[in-house]
Structure 1
Amino acid sequence: MHAIGIIPARFASTRLPGKPLVDLGGQSMIQRVIGQAQQSGLSRVVVATDDERILEHVLSIGGEAVLTSPNHPSGTDRVWDAYQQLDVQADCVINIQGDEPFIHPAQIDALIQLFTLAQPPQLATLVKPVLTDEELFSPHLPKVVLDTTGHALYFSRHPLPFQRQQPQPAWREHHRYLRHIGLYAYRPDVLAEITQLPPSPLELAESLEQLRWLEHGYRILTAETELETIGIDTPEDVERALRYLAQQS
């Protein structure tokens, strides 16, 4: 199994400029992401960035990075750009979010394992049980519903399914809801295809890129994780991550 991990990392961020280079307890955020990814079963870990500062930083800490176009509309497009530059053949390509400094190697390995199946998936991603009403009703935490084979039927920022016969405070008692964790794995030929697709109506309505793939007929297999991660989007998230690191020391 030859699995390549690619970490898209942009310098520009509305809420936290220079996010990949933010210091988290003596290591940059992107350095922590790389370190976690390298503990998994990936054959290679590469940062895909549009900024020379990030490129030079990753190279200075002994990492591997490539410079991609600054005009990519999504991380998936940046991953495809980087993969083409590497000029290698992989069984799967895994898109690891550059703002997840505490991503668990086991979460990456769960996706790699799906590509060892007799019929590897076209696309794969992670899901996690919803544990609180705050998670369930947060539009910032997309939910997902699955078919009986573990493939995604739909992703939404709204809780799905809507339980017509139950009051909202009781919804979690009557259904096992799942959150989407934004770690993606692609078969390389499928990655090439989906980056050529135009934005779809469902994607534009929900601002969820994966709906474009579903709307065009691709299938997304899921693996379930119980592990939690801490995404970094704001200065407040940085403070939360620093508190987490202090608790671990």
Structure 2
Amino acid sequence: MSVLIVIPARYASSRYPGKPLVELTGATGTAKTLIQRSWEAAMDVTGVDRVVVATDDARIRDAAQAFGAEVVMTSENCRNGTERCAEAAAKLGDTYEIVVNLQGDAPLTPAWFIEDLVAGLRANAWAELATPVLRCEGEMLASLREDRHHGRVGGTTAVFGAGNRGLYFSKEVIPYTAGSYLPHDPTPVFHHVGVYAYRPDILAQYPEWHVGPLEELEGLEQLRFLENGRAVLCVEVEARGRQFWELNNPSDVPRLQAMMAEMKLP
């Protein structure tokens, strides 16, 4: 019943080069790189046997090893984080019950998101992978709409059906909603949290599949599973008063730092 967390990180991002080494300053004035904060978030998760950073870049490797992380070097040819996780898991060679992909741009991911995710996958034998979703409040929905209005790639949204089986993920705000909501009103829109828990066999198959038209259009790696008819479980998680946002663009840095200050995160 073992769990491996892999944090995929690459330097040569077309949208935000060098993103894993961007520094974020917390409430105490301490500056730490994005990859270090993501690693620390992973280390807070209970029930995990091993945490590794998977990268193809020596700068990220050196930075990660300097703060004590275990690093697995992977190919430059990995097209996304899931492929990098698959290669890292294969290189490690150990057998794990579940492999978690904690993407290196989500340092505000609370430990219970991942703990609930692993528990959800264990409890649903039909699911081949699981991913968390967070119901948007009015303020978050407004932020998603503002990003799309200004042409920024913001958060991803998810829709799911019976049994929380994933139907679709999009960088557009789906489903369509008319009107506006008050800041703390629950909405019918779910923010997809960029974390995945895979069963090892489905993760090993993933790099062998072709990139489909939906994955190519949206730029979302999880759509490859849906395009190949695989069963994705969406696990609804609770914010418990925590704010959550990924670092997608340079403009997200002050947003994340403001959230960290408000939540008194060091």
Is TM more than 0.5 here? yes
Match of 2:76 in 1: 70
Moved more, 207-216 or 132-141: 132-141
Equivalent residue in structure 2 for 1:156, among 167, 170, 173: 170
SS at 1:223 equivalent = strand
1:134 match? 142
Match of 1:239 among 236, 249, 254: 254
* Mean Cα deviation higher: 6-15 or 102-111: 6-15
Whether contact under 8 Å (2:38, 2:104) holds in the other structure is yes
Task: Check the 8 A contact 1:232/1:238 in 2, yes or no.
Answer: yes
Q: 1:13 to 1:200 in 2, by over 3 A?
A: closer
Between stretches 87-96 and 174-183, larger displacement belongs to 174-183
- Larger deviation, residues 215-224 vs 150-159: 150-159
Determine if contact 1:91/1:115 at 8 Å carries over to the other structure: no
Does the CA-based 8 Å contact 2:121-2:233 persist in structure 1?
Answer: no
Pairing 1:1-249 to 2, within 5 Å after superposition: 1-24=1-24, 25-41=30-46, 42-117=48-123, 119=125, 121-132=127-138, 133-135=141-143, 137=145, 139=148, 140-162=154-176, 168-169=178-179, 176-227=188-239, 228-247=243-262, 248=264
What is the one-letter code of the residue matched to 1:5? Answer: I
Please state how far the C-alpha of 1:154 moved relative to its aligned partner: 1.7
Instruction: Say if 1:174 and 1:110 are closer, same or farther in 2 by CA, change over 3 A.
Output: closer
Alignment length (residue pairs): 245
- Structure 1's unaligned 5+ residue stretches are none
Q: Is the 8 A contact 1:203 1:212 kept in 2?
A: yes
Deviation at 1:156, TM superposition (A): 2.6
SS across alignment from 1:212 = helix
Q: Secondary structure of 2:220's partner?
A: coil
Is 154-163 or 73-82 further displaced after alignment? 154-163
Distance in 1 between the 2:50 and 2:165 partners? Answer: 27
Question: How many Å separate the matches in 2 of 1:32 and 1:162?
Answer: 34
CA RMSD in angstroms comes to 2.4
SS at match of 1:130: strand
> Partners of 1:202 and 1:151 in 2: how far apart?
18
Identity %: 36
Q: How far did residue 234 of structure 1 move?
A: 3.0
* Distance across 1 between alignment mates of 2:261 and 2:191: 27
1:151 CA displacement: 0.8
Residues 15-70 of structure 1: CA deviation (Å, up to 9, x unaligned):
54322122223322211111111111221110001111111221122110111111
Given that 1:47 and 1:64 are in contact with CA atoms closer than 8 Å, whether structure 2 keeps it comes out as yes
Task: Give, in angstroms, the shift of residue 204 of structure 1.
Answer: 2.2
SS at match of 2:234: strand
Where 1:115 maps in the other structure, the secondary structure is helix
Listed as ranges, the gaps of 5+ residues in structure 2 are 25-29, 149-153
Question: Which shifted more, 38-47 or 152-161?
Answer: 152-161
1:194 Cα offset (Å): 1.7
The structure-2 alpha-carbon separation of the partners of 1:134 and 1:170, relative to structure 1 and needing over 3 Å to count, comes to closer
2:27 is aligned to none
TM-score by length of 2: 0.83
Alpha-carbon distance between aligned partners in 2 of 1:118 and 1:211, rounded to the nearest angstrom: 20
- Please list the CA deviations of residues 199-249 of structure 1 after superposition, one character each: whole Å capped at 9, or x if unmatched: 112222332222221121101011112323232233332223333334416
